[in-house]
Structure 1
């Protein structure tokens, strides 16, 4: 390892800067739809950064602040790497180990160095790319499979083919940028000994990785296709778009990540657009993996658009790739962090480089939505290509407007018929209601679950995944066994678990065949945002209908959540209903016992990972529980019976390696019950300042929550506040159409309304 105390960085050459800064601002950028001559003639670069784009960028340099700042930062980064020298070590490690990190860093620096060569016209960057590629060529000719054997599909540079595909996606862009710098002999050498064998290994040699519909395969398809576009190799391009033809393979599960070979023959880039995306742009694996997959989806699509415009890739499936970016941005909280649906690492946000790519490409190839410019401003960097230039100019010209997030319902499934995700937003309160399909291999068994946020802070949390990504000390940075034994299990989520069994018995082959069904979604009323969905397959013989609403009422400081879970079964069961709150317990209206010795709640299906920290019997018709989190107060009010049990639990049992976060829940347990109704309200209220040491409005505003009607067709809940005012929320359990008319008598009072619910 080399260490340096200081580096004098060589920035943009002065002569070039003088000529660039002297350019007039009114230089016209050639439209993406114009001047295809260079592309048609096969000139380079033409993959992502185009020859015309280079001219436009050079003409504007010095006048586009966000682009100029990005260019400077990239130049400093690459110059520092050039100073340190090239290192292409023999692969040895899992994720997080030195060789893994080094090769990952190399691919990114190669891509950036290629771009710098084009924009700055400085040969040192082209030479650096050439020298490193030649080192890889010399190595790859005799490189065996990676020595780590954990993956279902081993790479050569990395422990899994997925990372090899990552490498080729980036390096193909670098190769395009230096293509004309290299001699024909050098290009033949690289293509014969490195690029073609590399593409073959991650595709024909690894069909269990390549030949399926999955985010892994998307990376593989993009890698093969992008290097095929640069090399003008139609065989590779076709393999990328349509998969490997006439391939007969075993279709049993092979992947510790859960992937299958595609049984119906669907494979390739186009199939990976068709299958995982709904018409609304929701990606069935969830936002964390949508973020990961968006880079290969969009960067390969951009390459196809530039080199093969006749494919009209951005129009494929009604333009779903561009729609998906809007969906993904809406799947983030007020701080830009993605909701951790399914396998998702918390803290992943639209500040990730993949979302810089998504934002810029969406703006350039889409409708020039000014809201995207505000996201780009927050990201504070752009792509160093044609799309990044367009974004930079849009920001410079003052076109940016806030990206407006409202309540939105995103359907799931290729036809939009496999459930979905509803996001309810009312002022600072966000509720994420999941009634989607299984979510491929990264799906969790959590039908009709939810999580709750206030101004970007989790209030009722979804655990996310059990993994420390790229931290070698924790399982080589890979998924931990607790992801299956805890994070995927139903009891780890805010939904009903029946008889201590996970939905679909925790079996992928069953869960993947089923999905919940939307009952209604209503966001037209500014005061009531509501969503309702039904699940009938998670437990045979049991139907669950959950209706959730965020209600803004002038008698309350902030909007509150009303949650109604109606369970109808053909037999008596035990139901567990947890609330995974974050923060410090403040107060309860029930007495609880704390055990002297902590024991696990159960032995399997996630229960083995829950310590029981307190037990109680419900004592009133309304159980109340308050907590404090990050200076804000919250209160849960739930309707309970005198046989209900209350359990304080904490994650961490049977976890000797401390792989799980030690977080708490209050669980409502209802035994020996056939049909039942779980009704709760969650209030956000008040604040606490540690500076002034003052608590404001720390008490709940709800004095009573009561079921006044529950039939097959209707459920009505009365909410009484501290002022003595009672409001009624009535939800239609059967006929919930927007035009449906209802007339109902409750306590000798008539209620008449149209639509799925009534609140008055």
Structure 2
């Protein structure tokens, strides 16, 4: 009997050891043991993968030759210690991958030696000496960058886990990894315990090191937040965002709250791009280690949907539209989008359009997903990724506004009627930007920041981001009484959002988006309808903008147009002041030089400009009482933090209800080589409001060839099934749907 029990106990122990060993198999986080073998079998046969591997090997070999440096932290972003620690995290992760694929121990030794150096300093490392952050890190000035570091280093640790001795692993986990994870979470709840891109990085960092260490407590902390933590929900962080909003926290809450069902991320595409790496890399780790969670199916597969949404939030050159705080020039060529494209292809439906983007990126991840993409490209499966008109809802349930993108030929309209966008949001409801073939025609300013350039505020947000970039006057939308929407206050703006009236892209010749906003200015309703119309009388599609304003008070209204290019011609007289003065004193107006002021005696105001060899004309229905102002950004900016770019403002005073109607034409071309201008003049001779009631607005557009077109929009009932009859100049017009154009 005793012999039998001993045998049983030994068998149970063997099973437990087997289970424990299986649970601790490495690598298993991003690279997998099985995946590594597949990669090795395909080496030298996949051009895209092989090129990525060779380039990485050259970079890391050069780093190894330089030696290891883990300096005592002292700098803000852009300073040496910041840049060095940031570089170290990338190099360790990449060296770990090379060790797994090439089986060269020099890469594992390099990672081990660097980790042990970090272990030796981290034990006694105080908080970072720079105190500006609401949550100080240790290696970096803010916990956000510490989290970046741990996300990458977790992958390195996973790759060399079996190379290390048990004593070395214990030493690293006790003195480096566990204290590191604790600092960015339980020691910094104001950073960790909320819904924000910062917290997403923190959740992923804690969760990924937890997966490598097989630490259930850390994994649960990552997924669900810090348990039983009481926090002040009214406290604000340094971005102005509320901490731990509604008590929700953890990785799953950060998927649930910011993403709409369409995959739009409420902070905007710039921060969606930034957050996608921790979202997807942690999700990939969870899928590999804990497939039972089915993380890529969470919230109806929104993580994979979000990649498609993000790609559609880019222009013809792949650069993301700078909605909210967004740096211009950020594109899907960034490494975060290489990760997104590869993971989306591998774990999604293997969309061949993604392969065409991977070809443009000219690199893949050196893991299972990158292998799949490289195989797809090699096998000729790539097809063009076609970006069409799309409406992306905002809010966790898709009922808090959104972003409508209309595309026609090479023209793109980006119409923003979204939520506040968390602490990175701007006060610009019903604003828009306009592009031709990837170039800005009418711009959104984006953020006021020189990211990671130490000379400009340590590489962080400049004060002008709040005083200019976030303010309403910095955008192409209506400003009432020189005040920003929602008083420029986050706690007010976060409670409201515009309401979609209609989005219709069913007819490629007439596409429109329309939304209403009733809370930006109490007592005032703004209703903006924008349409891209393709018509035989025009060389290219033109943009029609109809902005109706109803108010229970008399106000001053400013409607700016931030055009890109050189003024060619106007049809109105204006005076240029001898001494420039700011247009106003606050709410962004203090940053605008008033460069010219005039008025018109015509029913239409025209402004033409030239940009990158293309002509554009703004035609607006105006009256003699309207002020027409040329402005330029840069007043009250002694450190030259703002770009000196131009704008044009239509100002209407002492008015309650009013209507702004404009068209933007793209036309013609100019060649500096042949010195020839083609079709440099507008095709519109008259723009007239022929009807404006509660239910309908009708606009007549007459061309220089004396051909008239009529556009009517239904202001109240815009359903597809609705039938309408409108009498204009004793003639009845009948149609079904939201608009009439003929």
The answer to whether residue 395 in structure 2 is matched with residue 416 in structure 1 is: no
2:23/2:214 contact within 8 Å kept: no
Q: Give distance in 2, aligned partners of 1:226 and 1:271.
A: 17
1:546/1:564 contact within 8 Å kept: yes
Q: Give distance in 1, aligned partners of 2:354 and 2:45.
A: 21
> How many angstroms does 1:258 deviate by?
2.6
> How many angstroms does 1:745 deviate by?
1.4
Q: Secondary structure at the match of 1:276?
A: coil
The equivalent residue for 1:600 is 582
1:40/1:307 contact within 8 Å kept: no
Residue number among 567, 571, 577 corresponding to 1:589 in the alignment = 571
1:38/1:51 contact within 8 Å kept: no
> How many angstroms does 1:555 deviate by?
1.0
The equivalent residue for 2:73 is 91
> How many angstroms does 1:743 deviate by?
1.2
Distance change in 2, residues 1:275/1:591 (3 Å) = same
Q: Give distance in 1, aligned partners of 2:241 and 2:218.
A: 23
> How many angstroms does 1:554 deviate by?
1.0
The equivalent residue for 1:751 is 733
2:241/2:490 contact within 8 Å kept: no
Q: Give distance in 1, aligned partners of 2:648 and 2:247.
A: 46
The equivalent residue for 1:6 is none
The answer to whether residue 449 in structure 2 is matched with residue 467 in structure 1 is: yes
The answer to whether residue 469 in structure 2 is matched with residue 490 in structure 1 is: no
Q: Secondary structure at the match of 1:350?
A: coil
The equivalent residue for 2:697 is 715
Q: Secondary structure at the match of 1:264?
A: helix
The answer to whether residue 660 in structure 2 is matched with residue 681 in structure 1 is: no
Q: Give distance in 1, aligned partners of 2:610 and 2:21.
A: 60
> How many angstroms does 1:39 deviate by?
9.6
> How many angstroms does 1:263 deviate by?
3.9
Residue number among 73, 79, 88 corresponding to 2:55 in the alignment = 73
The equivalent residue for 2:169 is 187
Q: Give distance in 2, aligned partners of 1:405 and 1:758.
A: 26
The equivalent residue for 1:28 is none
Where do 1:73-472 residues align within 5 Å? Answer: 73-472=55-454
Q: Give distance in 2, aligned partners of 1:432 and 1:352.
A: 22
> How many angstroms does 1:748 deviate by?
1.7
Q: Give distance in 2, aligned partners of 1:544 and 1:396.
A: 52
Q: Give distance in 1, aligned partners of 2:210 and 2:600.
A: 66
Q: Give distance in 2, aligned partners of 1:151 and 1:311.
A: 34
* TM-score where L is the length of structure 1: 0.95
The answer to whether residue 629 in structure 2 is matched with residue 647 in structure 1 is: yes
1:386-419 per-residue CA deviation (whole Å, 9 max, x = no partner) reads 0000000000000000001000000000000000
2:534/2:540 contact within 8 Å kept: yes
> How many angstroms does 1:749 deviate by?
1.7
Q: Secondary structure at the match of 2:246?
A: coil
Q: Give distance in 2, aligned partners of 1:169 and 1:338.
A: 24
Q: Give distance in 1, aligned partners of 2:235 and 2:603.
A: 49
Q: Secondary structure at the match of 1:597?
A: coil
1:136-188 per-residue CA deviation (whole Å, 9 max, x = no partner) reads 00010000000000000000000000000000000000000000000000000
1:236-259 per-residue CA deviation (whole Å, 9 max, x = no partner) reads 000000000111122334322233
Comparing 249-258 and 609-618, the one that deviates more: 249-258
1:38/1:46 contact within 8 Å kept: no
2:231/2:244 contact within 8 Å kept: no
1:83-136 per-residue CA deviation (whole Å, 9 max, x = no partner) reads 000000000100000000000000000000000000000000000000000000
Residue number among 697, 703, 708 corresponding to 1:726 in the alignment = 708
The equivalent residue for 1:50 is 32
* TM-score where L is the length of structure 2: 0.97
2:119/2:176 contact within 8 Å kept: yes
Q: Secondary structure at the match of 2:380?
A: coil
> How many angstroms does 1:42 deviate by?
2.7
Residue number among 477, 480, 484 corresponding to 1:502 in the alignment = 484
1:412/1:420 contact within 8 Å kept: yes
> How many angstroms does 1:657 deviate by?
0.4
Q: Give distance in 2, aligned partners of 1:41 and 1:99.
A: 37
Residue number among 621, 629, 638 corresponding to 2:611 in the alignment = 629
1:656-681 per-residue CA deviation (whole Å, 9 max, x = no partner) reads 00000000101000000000000000
Q: Give distance in 1, aligned partners of 2:242 and 2:516.
A: 28
Residue number among 494, 507, 518 corresponding to 1:512 in the alignment = 494
1:39/1:46 contact within 8 Å kept: no
Q: How many residues were matched structurally?
A: 725
Distance change in 2, residues 1:372/1:379 (3 Å) = same
Q: Give distance in 2, aligned partners of 1:222 and 1:238.
A: 11
Q: Secondary structure at the match of 2:699?
A: strand
- Aligned CA RMSD, in angstroms, stands at 1.0
Q: Give distance in 2, aligned partners of 1:346 and 1:252.
A: 33
Where do 1:570-585 residues align within 5 Å? Answer: 570-585=552-567
